[in-house]
């Protein structure tokens, strides 16, 4: 009989079990272990519990015969299945509140950039679309709407979302497939040369610029020749530019922990520009980079204010700790209150930080 985890109520046991791989010797392993052929797997990783709470796990998975697994084994698999085997830099939660924040943020990006799919990408021959690091899958649903509303497009189009964690996948996927995959690992062969359009949005906080070539090369394997890669990313260059138009001591006080966190982890402050270079280096054709501004566009202001307030309210204590500005949780909480007060005052003055959304597009030859 299976032992119940303290988190059993929240555990998506069935989904996990469906994802397990039975090996020839009768053991049940998670796919990473089955692929690697390892008998056990040891790692320390920042993972998430099955309800999406970030957690630090020390892992040592035995491969036990079917029916003898303890909940720890399942839970370990849950974490591995959810997170891959990388020590995670990614600082955001994966709970319901974060899913709502991602969906609202997506709406702002769409309103700022004019649609889910860049107008330079032809849609009439599209038959399969993928979104990598999909989160809640929100981009896929809007991309499907945009494609369906475009005259001359097909009706039988396949949509697939990949993410390193299943925690935010929709409960009712409505004919869109989702699977767990780390963008830094090779994609399964069944996805090779399959997609006419592959999208990525907002991975800047997950890994350093030095890993962009590996990610893009993996994405190229799932694109059909002639297919398009679109990567939408935050551009913080105007936020750190000494001559940036929206800079003042108040905004710097709020953005400082975020910028320090990015710098400390070698994360990019100008990801779209870095991606544009990588797209060209790997031989993508027709590479272009379009930048969408929020600042200076009055109709976007209410949404942008809400977005900044929610993001910094959720993140500030963690950022203060991770950037080394605060030495303890208590200090982080009180410092966060001060800085969030400055943010409210900054926004009340009608100001908006100059964070931009860059869309980089290229075609596989």
Ligand X SMILES: C[S@@+](CC[C@H](N)C(=O)[O-])C[C@H]1O[C@@H](n2cnc3c(N)ncnc32)[C@H](O)[C@@H]1O
Does 184 help bind ligand X (rule: CB under 6 A)? Answer: yes
Establish if 161 lies at the interface with ligand X (CB under 6 A).
no
- Give the interface segment with ligand X, choosing from 180-188, 234-242, 283-291, 333-341 (CB under 6 A): 180-188
- Which CB, 28 or 229, lies closer to ligand X? 229
The three-class DSSP label of residue 114 is coil
If one asks whether residue 203 binds ligand X (CB under 6 A), the answer comes out as yes
Tokens of 144: 């499907």
Minimum Å distance from CB 208 to ligand X? Answer: 12
To the nearest whole angstrom, how small is the minimum distance from the Cβ of residue 246 to ligand X? 22
Q: How far is the CB of 236 from ligand X (least distance, A)?
A: 14
Length in residues, the chain? 365
Cβ neighbours around 295 below 10 Å, total: 17
CB of 115 to ligand X, least distance (A): 14
Applying CB under 6 A, which of residues 81, 164, 271, 336 lies at the interface with ligand X? 164
Based on CB atoms, which residue is closest to ligand X, 138 or 308? 138
Cβ pair 202, 232 in contact under 8 A: yes
**CA 271, 323, 259, 169 torsion: positive or negative?**
positive
Axis crossing angle, helix 301-322 with helix 249-264, rounded to the nearest 10: 50
Residue 101 sits in the site that holds ligand X (CB under 6 A): no
Distance of CA 196 to the CA centre of its chain: 21
Q: Which two tokens stand for residue 283?
A: 């031989």
Q: Compare residues 27 and 43 and give the one whose CB is closer to ligand X.
A: 43
Q: Pattern of binders to ligand X over 61-90, x per CB under 6 A? A: -----------------------------x
Least distance from ligand X to the Cβ atom of residue 90, Å:
5
Instruction: Name which of 77 and 215 has its Cβ closer to ligand X.
Output: 215
**Facing residues of 228 across strands?**
197, 363
Nearest to 281 by CA among 331, 335, 215: 215
What is the CB neighbour count within 10 angstroms for residue 330? 10
Long-range contacts of 9-18 (CB under 8 A, 24+ apart): 10/49, 10/50, 10/51, 11/50, 11/51, 11/74, 11/75, 11/78, 12/50, 12/78, 12/166, 13/74, 15/166, 16/74, 16/77, 16/78, 16/81
Selected binder of ligand X within 165, 230, 251, 270 (CB under 6 A)? 165
**140 or 347, CB closer to ligand X?**
140
Does 318 interact with ligand X (rule: CB under 6 A)? no
Site for ligand X in 4-43 (CB under 6 A): none
> Is-contact 94 164, C-beta < 8 A?
no
Query: Which of these ranges, 6-14, 190-198, 202-210, 308-316, lies near ligand X under the rule CB under 6 A?
Result: 202-210
| Token pair in block for residue 354 | 């100059």
Q: Determine the size of the site formed for ligand X (CB under 6 A).
A: 20
Is 134 a binder of ligand X (CB under 6 A)?
Answer: yes
Nearest distance from C-beta of residue 189 to ligand X, angstroms? 18
Residue 209 touching ligand X (CB under 6 A) = no
And the tokens for 141? Answer: 């649903």
Structure tokens at 328: 């303890």
Determine if 359 is a binding residue for ligand X (CB under 6 A).
Answer: no
d(CA 127, CA 195): 7
Q: Judged by CB under 6 A, which of 202, 258, 307, 346 binds ligand X?
A: 202
Chain position carrying tokens 């991770």: 322
> Residue 229, interface with ligand X (CB under 6 A)?
no
Instruction: Return the number of the residue (201 or 247) whose C-beta is nearest ligand X.
Output: 201
d(CA 78, CA 69): 13
| Residue choice 129, 133, 223, 238 for contact with ligand X (CB under 6 A) | 133
What is the closest distance, in whole angstroms, from the C-beta atom of residue 5 to ligand X in the complex? 21
Tokens read off for 188? 């399964």
Closer CB to ligand X, residue 131 or residue 276?
A: 131
Q: Which residues bind ligand X (CB under 6 A)?
A: 90, 92, 102, 106, 133-135, 138-139, 163-165, 168, 182-184, 201-203, 206
């Amino acid at each position: 009989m299976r032992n119940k985890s303290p988190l059993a109520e929240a555990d998506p046991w069935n989904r996990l079990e469906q994802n397990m791989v039975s090996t020839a010797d009768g053991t049940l392993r998670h796919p990473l272990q089955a692929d690697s052929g390892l008998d056990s797997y040891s790692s320390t990783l920042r993972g998430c519990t099955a309800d999406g709470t970030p957690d630090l796990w020390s892992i040592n998975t035995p491969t036990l015969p079917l029916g003898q697994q303890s909940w720890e084994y399942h839970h370990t698999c849950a974490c591995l299945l959810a997170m891959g085997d990388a020590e995670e830099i990614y600082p955001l939660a994966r709970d319901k509140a974060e899913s709502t924040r991602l969906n609202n943020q997506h709406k702002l990006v769409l309103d700022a950039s004019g649609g889910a799919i860049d107008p330079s990408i032809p849609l009439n021959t599209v038959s399969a679309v993928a979104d990598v690091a999909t989160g809640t899958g929100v981009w896929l649903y809007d991309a499907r709407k945009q494609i369906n509303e475009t005259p001359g497009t097909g009706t039988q189009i396949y949509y697939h979302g990949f993410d390193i964690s299943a925690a935010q996948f929709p409960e009712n996927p409505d004919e869109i497939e989702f699977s767990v995959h780390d963008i830094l690992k090779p994609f399964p062969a069944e996805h090779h040369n399959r997609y006419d359009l592959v999208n990525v949005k907002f991975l800047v906080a997950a890994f350093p610029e030095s890993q962009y070539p590996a990610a893009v090369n993996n994405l190229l394997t799932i694109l059909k020749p002639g297919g398009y890669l679109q990567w939408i990313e935050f551009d913080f260059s105007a936020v750190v530019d000494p001559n940036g138009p929206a800079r003042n001591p108040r905004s710097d006080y709020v953005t400082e922990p975020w910028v320090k966190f990015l710098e400390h982890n070698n994360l990019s402050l100008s990801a779209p520009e870095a991606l544009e270079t990588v797209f060209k280096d790997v031989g993508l054709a027709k590479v272009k980079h379009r930048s969408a501004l929020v600042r200076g566009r009055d109709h976007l202001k209410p949404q942008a204010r809400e977005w900044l307030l929610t993001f910094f309210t959720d993140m500030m204590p963690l950022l203060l700790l991770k950037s080394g500005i605060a030495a303890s949780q208590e200090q982080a909480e009180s410092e966060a209150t001060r800085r969030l007060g400055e943010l409210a005052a900054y926004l009340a003055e009608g100001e908006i930080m100059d964070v931009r959304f860059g869309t980089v597009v290229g075609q596989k030859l």
